Every structure is written in C-alpha cells, then in structure tokens.
Amino acid sequence: MKKKIGVFILVLFPLLALGGLFWFLHVKHQLPTQIVNKEKMPLEFKDNTVTCALCNMYLVGEKHTAQIITNDLKTHFFDDIGCAILWLKEQKIDPETITLWVFSTEINRYIDALKASYTFTEETPMLYGFAAYENPKEGMIDFTEMRLRMLRGENMSDPKIRQRLKGH
C-alpha cells in the first residue's frame, strides 16, 4: 500500500506542478485582446503585439490610440480614433452602448472618448486628424461632431479637406 501511495505522489505531484506552471505562463503571456475586461478600463499593451481591429496595423505606442470594450467585455484596439468610429459603424454598434477610451497626449493617459474634445488637424496614424483632449479649448469639437465628420469622410485623409484645413 505504501508503495502505491509513493508512486501516486511521485506521479501526481509533478503533473500538478507542471499544470500550475503552464496555467501561470498562459495567464502571464496572455495578449490584451484575450483578457475578459470586467473593469472596462483601458488595457496596457506592448508595441507590435496587438493590431487595429479595423485596419490590422500594429499599434506602436499609445499616442492617438483608442480602445473599445464591448458588452461581452472584450477589448478591441485601434491605432486611430477614426478607425474606432468606422469599426463601430461596420459592427452596427451605438457608441453610447459600449465603453470607448481614447489616448490624450495632453495628459498622457486614456480618457472617456465621449466626453473628450477633439482637434481635427493633427498628424494621426491613419491621417484622419482627430486628437483627443480632456480640457476643451476654442476651436475644438465634441465627440458627436468628430464622429459625424468621420462618417461623412470630412477628415484629413481627404486631400481637399486637408488642403482647406491646413490653409494651403
């Protein structure tokens, strides 16, 4: 009987230890897109590990990025707030029904995109031109106006609009 218990311990313990190690490594190396985001807060990511949900461009740095947390608690990453707006349209999702974060270079952190103010002549990854600010200033637009301009195609990616806005 003692021999069976000894063999059981010698076999079971290493298997449990290996299982625990593999679980730990899986959780530690989990991509942000695989995390269930119960807190609905912006997630950290490493450069070149996540791609934009719309254009599939790898995200490098947080500047101008956006994150959408859908009702299934999945986080979707975007290299440009414009891509997030187009993705919402493509998915037929109302922005009021999800959590939408946008990175503000003014304060170097994510802010609520629906409460942010936007400039529209910045150099952004997809050249849409919208940059988020927590503190509104004269000449900035709100989320509703930014979204409307994005959906109409009235952004810096259009050469005629770009020329008019830049004053060339």
pLDDT in tens, 40-73: 999 999 999 999 999 999 999 999 999 999 999 9
* Average pLDDT, integer, range 87-96: 97
Q: Which of 28-32, 66-70, 77-81, 159-163 has the lowest mean pLDDT?
A: 28-32
Determine which helix (DSSP H) or strand (DSSP E) holds 91, and give its type and residue range: helix 81-91
Confidence of residue 33 (pLDDT cuts 50, 70, 90): confident
The pTM of this model reads: 0.81
Confidence of residue 114 (pLDDT cuts 50, 70, 90): very high
Q: Which two tokens stand for residue 66?
A: 């956006």
Can you give the length of the chain in residues?
168
Q: Is a pLDDT exceeding 50 seen at residue 25?
A: no
- pLDDT tens for 117-136 read 999 999 999 999 999 999 99
Query: How far is 153 from 161, CA to CA, in rounded Å?
Result: 9
Q: Is a pLDDT exceeding 60 seen at residue 27?
A: no
Query: How far is 110 from 62, CA to CA, in rounded Å?
Result: 9
Collapse the DSSP code of 18 into the 3-class scheme (helix H, G, I; strand E, B; otherwise coil) and give the result.
helix
Q: Is a pLDDT exceeding 60 seen at residue 21?
A: no
CA quadruple 96, 40, 145, 123: dihedral, nearest 10: -160
Boundaries of every domain in the chain: 2-30, 35-166
Residue type, 91: Q
